Amino acid sequence: MRLEDVARSIDGEIVVGQEQLDLIVDRAFAADLLSDVLALTEERTALITGMTNPQVMRVAEILNIIAVVFVRGKTPPSALIEYAERLGIPIVTTKKTMFETCGLMFAEGVRACRSKAVSDIGAPA
């Protein structure tokens, strides 16, 4: 699914990434708990979150997150937007809840980045 279609499907606005409308988003992870984002995402995943603190973009940068979708009408602070622009990581904002956002994107073919649970993380390799 293209970034532009993701934004359209969730009535979202592309705040950063107008030049990346064709970016393919086919996997996503949704959480407000950044600890879980750090522990559970894989590469080339979009992040759906309601957290707009500066740490979100640093987490996204470290994890090679391909795009961040801010839900529930959260407006990311301008410093976060500038940081995302510097990194080239698109930002989409939507007024929809996280649940609706996930449902709409799933209906368009975006899938979970992995099915592992936190309870599996601590298990010996």
Partner 1 sequence: MIYEVRAGDIEHGGSASARIKADLIQAGICPSVARRAGIVSFEGEMNLIVYSSDGGTIAVEVGPRAVVIRVEDCGPGIEDIDLAMTPGYSTAPDWATDLGFGAGMGLVNMQKNSDRFEIESHVGLGTRIACWIQRRKDTDRSSQKESE
Which stretches of the chain bind partner 1, using CB under 8 A?
A: 32-39, 43, 51, 53-56, 58-59, 61-64, 118-119, 121-122, 125
Nearest CB to partner 1, comparing residues 111 and 116: 116
CA 73: distance to chain centroid?
14
Q: Which residues contact 81 (CB under 8 A, 6 or more apart)?
A: 15, 16, 91
Residue 60 beta carbon to partner 1: minimum distance, rounded to whole angstroms: 10
Instruction: Tell me how far apart the alpha carbons of residues 63 and 42 are, in angstroms, rounded to a whole number.
Output: 8
- Looking at the Cβ atoms of 7 and 51, the one nearer to partner 1 is 51
Q: How near is the Cβ of 111 to partner 1 at its closest, in Å?
A: 21
The helix-helix angle for 54-62 and 78-87 (nearest 10°) equals 10
- Spatial neighbors of 26 by CB under 8 A, at least 6 apart, are 1, 109, 110, 111
Residue 20 per-residue DSSP state: G
**Could you tell me the smallest distance in angstroms from the CB atom of residue 108 to partner 1?**
27
Residue 3 or residue 65: which is nearer to partner 1 going by CB? 65
Specify the residue, 18 or 53, whose C-beta has the smaller distance to partner 1. Answer: 53
Least distance in angstroms from the C-beta of 39 to partner 1: 5
